[in-house]
Amino acid sequence: MSFKRACIGLLGIVLSMALVAYLFRLPLTSWYLTPMLSKNGVALHCVDWSLTRMLDLNIEKLCLTYQGQQIELAGIIANKQQVSVSRANFIVSDLTNKQQPDASQTEFKKLALVLPEQRPLISIEQLDVVSPFTDTPVRLAIQEKRLNHFTISRDLNADVAISNYEVKANITFDEQVAERFVTLPTSSHFTTQSQIKFDGITVAIESSINASYQHALAQCDLGFTSEGQLSAKYQLNQQHLYADLSALQNQLSANRDCLNTIADQQHQSFVEAQLPLTWQLHIEKPVSVEGKLLSIPTVKLQAIEGQSEVTVSNTTLSLQDPLASLNSQVSIDFNSKDIDELKLNAHLHEENVSADFQLSLDSLPAFLDFQADGALVKGIGAKGKLNINDLFTSPTAKLNTNISVKNALISGAQIADFSSVIDAEHNAQRHLVVNANSKVKSLTYDDMNAAKISNELTLSTDLSVGELFVDIDAKTTAAKLSTAELTLNKLSVVSKALQSRALQATHHVFADGFEALVSHHMSEVAHPFELVIPEQAVSKLNPIIAQFEPLATVTDGVVSGIIKGDVNLQQAQGRVQISKFSALYNDYLANDFAVNLNGTFNSGQLNIAATKFTLNELRAGAVVKNIQGQLQVTANQPCAANLTGQVMGGAFVVNKYCPLSDNQTATVKFENIDASKLVTLDAESGISLSGRLAGTLPVVISKQGIEVKQGQLVNQGDGKLLITNNAGFDAVKAQQQELSTTLSLLENLDIKKLRSSVNLKPDGWLHLGVNLEGYNEAQQQAVNFNYNHEENVFTLLRALRLSDEITQRVEKEYAKKGNNDG
């Protein structure tokens, strides 16, 4: 009985202890499990369990933390064969955010799991994974079919194997899975099969990828495909990502319809001929991210057709500030049907860019505006260097480039061997300065030809102001500028201009030493100009005058003037002053010409008001002095009227003479002409005539030349004819005895009346029909003498011009000209 009571007592004690243990199960569980779990790096935060009627373990809640990752389990039923979890939440911390207080002290360690050789298999009906990588939780179902091997389903399909030191997962990921997390374009298709290994510190991924993406832009379909193997590793403690993408075959493409988005057919044809539609992308060396630093050793973009290639190498950047930290080298080697060569090598260092480039084309695209009307540009080359600093803050830039064109035909102008050196600089204050030095071997436009042209151009502007102002300084020189009518040598134009809403410019022009100043203001509505000819020697125009009249030479004189007008309206008015003008024409000499011209130009018509001019002396055989008259231009037709002057001791008047008129008659009237100067050839001729003459000469000017028709000469008062010791006259008397008596009457004749008809042919032959009525005092006999005389007046005048006086004057003037030219 006592033994029975002892057994009952002992059983009561055990039951009491079991009851106490069950009542205090939670603190006891925590006390027991906490140190055991800590050995594996697991922290226990909460636990609540009980026993079922079948003595299965029912865990209402279990909270664990492993290396900063949190898991909450609920609704657990556990027995010797199975552990079933109805609900679980797994919270993944942001591994990249070192600013979090917990993460700053987290150091991941190698897995060292103590896995029992025997335990119940685990199944989780619903596991919600919350992470910074997805906007919504990922919902999974986990089934352990054999020890430490799990099958994952629902939002993600995977097989996971856990060992003491490693977790392995085989995951299949496609667009159907991805759409549970993000919204994908309907035209994207991909499948990846990845093997993931995790040892507690490093995540290693081996993936097989087959992906494609199509993007429709209007009628243009852009495509990207990627196929091959990818391997990557991510080290949690160092936050170091390593990805090898070299086995991936990537292709970018655009269909032919994309070219239809280019409206202009010429532009479309050019792009189609130059730009390949399919490219391959190669990432030859591993990409890495260490901390916040991304490194990409080499990326190549290669055209499927042709040899064009773009290479980006040695690229590094900070993920926190990509633009400011970017370092990279870019190399472009491009060629196509029309582009012989395009090479670019650029180095990007943070906010600084340095690049050199080279371009060569056989010809420019036909669609360029200045290529219209059959224009052609051949043999184009360009090379240079570009430097940009502080690209994203206060950019400064320097550009140096050399441009060359072998031949060009632009708007009718043919250019040979054009070259230009351009230097441009942009500073932090947004001031832009461009210097261009250009040379052209020759330029031909219609009948104009220019040789050895050089141009120095400087453009400067401030881009920081609202309205753009450009200061322009230029100097253009040409060794020769010639047309069918005119050649200018040593041509120089120095220009200063300001371009804003309109162009204001001043040009200082020099041609063969002659100087002019042109200023103009060009806008959309008007183009006024002003031409100033500063006072200068007219002799500077000799190289130009000689091209029109090789026998003409200016020896003295000054010219000045000012002309104002509008180019658009083709209107102008101004004045030109010429004074002390002297010139030679062959052996003709003009001294001291002066005129002040005031005129207007409108609708192609030049008009100059009637203006007095004076000419002190004209030597053309006979010496003409004190010439003056009225000069006038009407509708481009110049005329001189009311010309008066003194010649051979008398005076003359010309009613009107128009130099450009082919058919005109100028009436020349003489009076009080000294007959002795008109007839006497030289002092040894033995023939002299005294008295005064008057006359009228209708001078007819036509395309055939100059002629005088039915001119008249008459005497004014009595005159005298003397013939003494004239061998020719004496020989006639000796040979013709029957005329001897008559001819002797002329040897000393008092002239009472003299009439002569004058006719001059265009070839210079002069016909004089002379009638003399007089009285020979010695023989006391009246005389009526008729005489016809023919002589080439041009030859006669030339003989007169070669007299000693004129010859000496000519030599003197040519000597003066030689000194001036020297």
Read off the amino acid at residue 645: G
Residues 139, 22 within the same domain: no
Is residue 340, in this structure, part of any structural domain at all?
no
Rounded average pLDDT over 644-664: 87
12 plus 144 within the same structural domain: no
Question: Does residue 717 lie within any of the structural domains?
Answer: yes
- Rounded Cα–Cα distance for residues 645 and 630 (Å): 13
pLDDT of the residue at 103: 43
**Same domain, residue pair 668 and 729:** yes
pLDDT band at 477, cuts 50/70/90? very high
Q: How many CB atoms within 10 Å of residue 751?
A: 21
Q: Per the structure, how many domains does the chain have?
A: 3
The DSSP code sequence of 286-340 is -EEEETTEEEEEEEEEEESSSS-EEEEEEEEEESSSHHHH-EEEEEEEE--SSEE
Between CA 710 and CA 378 the distance in angstroms is 67
Residue 424 placed within a domain: no
Please state, rounded to an integer, the average pLDDT across all residues of the chain: 83
**Whether the predicted pLDDT of 13 surpasses 60:** no
Q: How far apart are CA 91 and CA 102, in angstroms?
A: 14
pLDDT value at residue 99? 44
CB < 8 Å & 24+ apart, contacts of 232-235: 232/204, 232/205, 232/207, 233/202, 233/203, 233/204, 233/205, 234/202, 234/203, 235/201, 235/202
Q: How far is CA 47 from CA 43, 72, 517, 721, in A?
A: 11, 10, 102, 163
Q: What is the DSSP string of 423-477?
A: EEEE-TT-EEEEEEEEEEEEEEETTEEEEEEEEEEEEEEETTSSS--EEEEEEEE
Q: Is residue 772 part of a domain?
A: yes
- Residue 654, token pair as written in the block: 């010309």
Binning pLDDT at 50, 70 and 90, where does residue 104 land?
very low
Looking at residue 806, its pLDDT comes to: 45
Tell whether 11 and 57 lie within a shared domain: no
CA–CA distance, 693 with 709 (Å, rounded to integer) = 19
Q: Which domain holds residue 85?
A: 32-101+122-177
For residue 772, the cross-strand partners are 754, 785
Nearest CA-CA partner of 57 in 111, 141, 120, 137: 120
Cα 691 from Cα 712, distance rounded (Å): 16
What ranges make up the beta strands (E) of 350-447?
A: 352-363, 376-389, 396-410, 413-426, 431-445
The reply to whether 168 and 46 lie within a common domain is yes
In a domain, 64, yes or no: yes
> Is a pLDDT exceeding 80 seen at residue 681?
no
Q: Are residues 85 and 10 in the same domain?
A: no
149 close to 163: Cβ distance less than 8 angstroms: no
Please report which helix (H) or strand (E) contains residue 700, including its range: strand 687-702
Q: 748 with 777: CB under 8 angstroms?
A: yes
pLDDT confidence of residue 398: 94
Q: Indicate the residue among 177, 207, 222 that finishes a domain.
A: 177
Name the β-bridge partners of 196: 169, 205
pLDDT in tens, 134-150: 777 888 898 988 899 99
- Least confident stretch, 611-625, 656-670, 804-818: 804-818
Tell me, yes or no, whether 8 and 129 share the same domain.
no
Whether residue 15 is found in the same domain as residue 44: no
| 12 and 58 inside one domain | no
Sign of torsion, CA 408 414 418 420? negative
Average pLDDT over residues 572-596: 90
Mean pLDDT of 143-171: 90
**CA gap 198, 170 in Å, rounded:** 12
Asked if the structure places residue 153 within a domain, the reply is yes
Same domain, 17 and 138: no
Backbone phi and psi for residue 590, each to the nearest 5 degrees, phi listed first? -120, 130
Residue 145, in any domain of the structure: yes
| 9 part of a folded domain | yes
Based on the domain organization, do 48 and 171 belong to the same domain? yes
Mean pLDDT of 456-468: 84
- The answer on 40 and 20 residing in a single domain is no
Question: Residue 569 above 70 pLDDT?
Answer: yes
